[in-house]
Amino acid sequence: MSAVVVVGAQWGDEGKGKITDFLAGDAEMVVRYQGGPNAGHTVWVNDQQYKLHLVPSGILYPGKACVIGNGVVVDPEVLVAELDYLAARGVDTGSLAISDSAHVIMPYHRVLDGLEEERRGEGRIGTTRRGVGPAYMDKLARIGIRVADLLDPPTFSAKLEQNLREKNTLLERVYGVEGFEKEAIFQRYLALAERFKDRVTDTSVVVNEALDAGRHVLFEGAQGTLLDIDHGTYPFVTSSHPVAAGACLGAGVGPTRIDTVIGVAKAYTTRVGEGPFPTELTGDVGHWIRERGHEYGTATGRPRRVGWLDTVILRYAARVSGLAALAITRLDTLGGLDRVRVAVEYRYDGRTLRHFPHSLKVLAGCEPVYEDLDGWDEDITGLGDLASLPPAARRYLERIEALTGLEVAIVSIGRERAQTIARSNPSQRISARRA
């Protein structure tokens, strides 16, 4: 069997939830390895919509082993609400395991997230204000509270008291807002922990034992390459590592255990939040794509910025994550356009750039160089194989392959799980080809 990492190849919101759910049909375990409730994965099965924030997308298959890894920051309020939501929808979550070393989002993290974003003014990052950034800050400052601490009341009490001394001083003296009372948080979080304590374990052991047994494990990332804290458009990034290497860190497995990496990209480009966006469309075409593609955030409901497909970005994602193949989503959204455009390189200060620049100043000054391709009018949502696609749609995919050097192994042509075209057994076939 194989270990496959699914990563976002753009600015997040690429449809990783759907692709993970699709691939999970052949997997035996699905592991979420980073991010927090700032992520939202939407999956449609049998015309039913499911919105997931912390629980891996594989949960919609009965009995599928699912893991929230140590690299995730867990908001107990969100986790319990999500478990209740899934139970109410008839989804069995008994197979879910939660890392004992995952860090916990506390109420003061959410408040500080919002206050710090407001303080930035015009320099705001575009955070979802879910407390994710401040929780990762405490993790790196070595003062964070972990899931295991919630199951040890004396340890939790001592850590919470120490943290509140610092956080309340910051809230009251810097931001001029009321601090938090310890006992209310303490009792509330102990009660929440009671709801999921039986699921808490050393998930690194669980995942590695599955790999040792030859089981097919799927690693699910949140956000996307250009939101990676090291490799993204810093500072307009998230606080963790969505790139493929993050799977090793966030799941507790060695890099030699990973067999292949599949990058997920929309047939166009979107992003939420601030920062440069070379192919952004601000006119009627961008609005048309946004509405036709329902481009609004799962976690926040915010409208996404929309632009043409950018293969400079895809080549960058391929390099930093070692992509072996692409899954292209939302191809159906582009149906109806007379032409579609693809950015093949950038022009900056009289120079041609084929590699994605790290400087935001340079990126903001980049002019995309486009290739124009014919569009298509046909409805493709009911097709069953690549050969059935309209010739113009096939040429579009072939051009993506030529410009990125990557095979398009999976194509999403609608919101439903069944509306997916894949070359046979893509994850195993890609792994075999790389071996």
Q: Determine whether 13 is an active site residue.
A: yes
Kindly state the tokens that stand for 43.
């999956």
Selected catalytic residue, list 21, 41, 241, 332: 41
Cβ atoms of residues 130 and 110 within 8 Å = yes
Residue 208 Cα distances to 117, 251, 284, angstroms: 39, 9, 50
The candidate with the shortest Cα–Cα distance to 226, out of 218, 234, 215, is 234
Task: Based on the residue annotation, tell me whether 259 is a catalytic residue of this protein.
Answer: no
Specify which residues 45 forms β-bridges with.
48
C-beta separation of 171 from 177 below 8 A: yes
User: CA-to-CA distance for 25 and 425, rounded, in angstroms?
Assistant: 10
The answer to whether 306 touches 281, Cβ cutoff 8 Å, is yes
Contact 51, 89 (CB under 8 A): no
Strand partners, 6: 220, 262
Question: Residue 306: CB partners within 8 Å, gap ≥ 6?
Answer: 268, 269, 270, 280, 281, 286, 287, 289, 290, 293, 295
Active site residues: 13, 41
